[in-house]
Structure 1
Amino acid sequence: MAAAISRVFPNTQHRLCQWHMIKKYRDELKKLYKEHEGLKIKLLTVINHPLTPIEFEAAWSELLTEYGIGENDAIKGIWESRHLWVSAYLKPLYCGRMTSTQGSKSVNKAVKKGFCNEEDMHE
């Protein structure tokens, strides 16, 4: 999908949904949460709070050091894709108020209702 989006919409940037990213690693993260008390809250705070990429990266590094989880595959996967879904990296982008799949579904519904002819959509 990312390749198609960049080809069809060259002036846009493909993003990933935070909810889907966390869900992708849910099982591994659950194991970490059981092993490390307080990790879930701190991880979500690090992901959601920093205002800049520098702040995010500093907080992330601190989190890895505090919990000793830097070699975990889920943590590595979250880190490797951070530019596509962590809000600190996406602030300069206009996203039409979409920050999740739910937001995109709401916008899709509004566009279909107000701007698309139902008959044209089935051709």
Structure 2
Amino acid sequence: MLGACPKTIIIDQDAAITNAVASVFPAVNHHYCMWHIEKKVSEYLNYIYHEHTEFKSQFWKCIHQSIIVEEFEFDWEAMIDKYGLQDNKWLEKIYDIHAKWIPTFVHQNFVLECLPPKKCSYARYKKEREKTFKTVNSKPLMQTYYPMEEKASKVYTRKLFKIFLK
């Protein structure tokens, strides 16, 4: 790297490596490899995988499709509540370091992902189409049925409507 220091380092979630990187590169953003953490989900939450087939997709959606911090927090809490995982030590541990591996937080430091331009634009297009379809063809759950809430449900995207309800 011609003597230049990296801006971001992505490492495995290992205490020795974490300490070494922090010692050698104190001014560099340190992030954990999401792939390694995701690989451990089935190991630490094996019983949930077998009891609830939809858990894997909900976990994936929570960590990969949350665009803003509030959306991640909302989806994470909903997942924990739905599956009764409030006392799961491993989930507590990975949540404590979520700013070092969840894309919503990591991308605030700009981490370049090497994807072909066509794949990036197609993935973004597909995601937008799915969200538009869901917004147009389904109704969100209402809490009060006040006219203002009804109007907001028709005007806002699902994500903004969730924020509006808070």
SS in 2 for 1:14: strand
Letter in 2 for 1:8: V
Higher relative contact order (CA 8 A, sep 6+): 1
Letter in 1 for 2:62: V
The answer to which structure has the higher strand fraction is 2
Contact 2:42/2:49 (8 A) holds in 1 = no
Residue 86 of structure 1 corresponds to: 102
Superposed CA offset, 1:63-86 (max 9, x none): 111221221233223212211111
Residue 31 of structure 1 corresponds to: 47
Contact 1:52/1:88 (8 A) holds in 2 = yes
Residue 77 of structure 1 corresponds to: 93
Letter in 1 for 2:58: K
- Larger of the two Rg values belongs to structure: 2
SS in 2 for 1:50: coil
Contact 1:6/1:13 (8 A) holds in 2 = no
Letter in 1 for 2:100: L
Question: Any stretches of 5+ residues in structure 1 without a counterpart?
Answer: 99-123
**Could you tell me the TM-score, scaled by structure 1's length?**
0.68
Contact 1:56/1:88 (8 A) holds in 2 = yes
Superposed CA offset, 1:17-41 (max 9, x none): 1110122343222221112231111
Question: Any stretches of 5+ residues in structure 2 without a counterpart?
Answer: 1-16, 115-166
TM-aligned CA deviation for residue 2 of structure 1: 2.1
Q: How many equivalent pairs are there?
A: 99
Residue 4 of structure 1 corresponds to: 20
**Larger displacement relative to structure 2 (12-21 or 76-85):** 76-85
Letter in 2 for 1:5: V
Moved over 6 A (4+): none
Superposition pairs for residues 1-123 of structure 1, below 5 Å?
1-97=17-113
TM-aligned CA deviation for residue 53 of structure 1: 1.8
